[in-house]
Amino acid sequence: MSEYGKVKIGKLKLKGEKRSHKKHKSKKRKSEAEDGNLSSGGSKDTDTADHGGWWHCTALHQMTGALAIQLGTSPIYVRALDNGLFTAGAPHDQGDGPSPEEVLTAVPAGDDRIALKSGYNKYLGVDGTGRVVGRADAIGPREMWHPVFQDGKTALLGANDCFLGLDEDDNVVATNSKAGTEQMIMIRSNTLRECDKPKEIPEEERGKLKDVERNYVKKFQKFQDKRLRINEDGVTELKSARNEGCLHEVLLDRRAKMKADRYCK
């Protein structure tokens, strides 16, 4: 049995939370979790913009590269100190991302665990008193963390079977075996996602619209004299077509009128 299996069986139970036995409520919570606790793409974009481009990780595979641990729902992050300890950083203004001292690096450490390295190039672990410390040069059992997801919430389980949170002095610790409100976190990343990568523009469509049309005529010309036959109606029609997402269709129609496309009948 894994370490996580020893400490937690079944669902993540929050302090003071009553379990509901109504099936329709559990379905609702499941739907919210699948949406990353945000109702629409617009809400996700707003949340990311509000945190300086750092988006909310909702799955383990997203936790690679630069990360920041947001404590609760306020723009407050885990901050590394030069003595190897961690504390709650100062609140950030809307639109600001984490400070350099609040940026960690995530490294996969097994099927369901990650390791975290501070800006001081030390791995985060838990000492004998439950304090979160960053003093290890290599990843050992104490430097492995298990992100736990449920109902759109996230908690981070340490090697001592306790969840990451804050003590009364705002020191970052892992001393609670149950995840209460104080142990709810958001793990944020600024790594470029596939869905955010700019779409590659085909070589033929680079430049002005008149050049785009010329490029496609060259690509699909069927005539033998090699003289280009360009539609002389101007590019106003092409501008509207590009805005409406039907540029290729309009270009084909224009080539068909000029009998300058080997695919036109």
| Other beta carbons within 10 Å of 7 | 15
**pLDDT tens digits, 131-180:** 999 999 999 999 999 999 988 899 999 999 999 999 999 999 999 999 99
CA distances from 236 to 229, 249, 250 (A): 18, 15, 11
154 three-class SS = strand
51 three-class SS = coil
Termini Cα distance of the chain? 69
Q: Provide the residue count of the chain.
A: 265
pLDDT value at position 26?
45
**pLDDT tens digits, 212-256:** 777 777 777 766 666 777 777 777 888 787 777 788 788 788 877
- Calculate the average pLDDT of the chain: 81
CATH number of 53-193: 2.80.10.50
pLDDT value at position 82?
95
Instruction: Check residues 15 and 163 and name the one with the higher pLDDT.
Output: 163
What is the rounded average pLDDT of the residues 120-126? 97
**C-alpha torsion 244→246→251→253, nearest 10:** -110
Domain ranges of the chain: 53-193, 203-257
Q: Hey, what are 207's tokens? A: 């430049």
17 three-class SS = coil
Instruction: Check residues 155 and 202 and name the one with the higher pLDDT.
Output: 155
According to DSSP, residue 145 is labeled: B
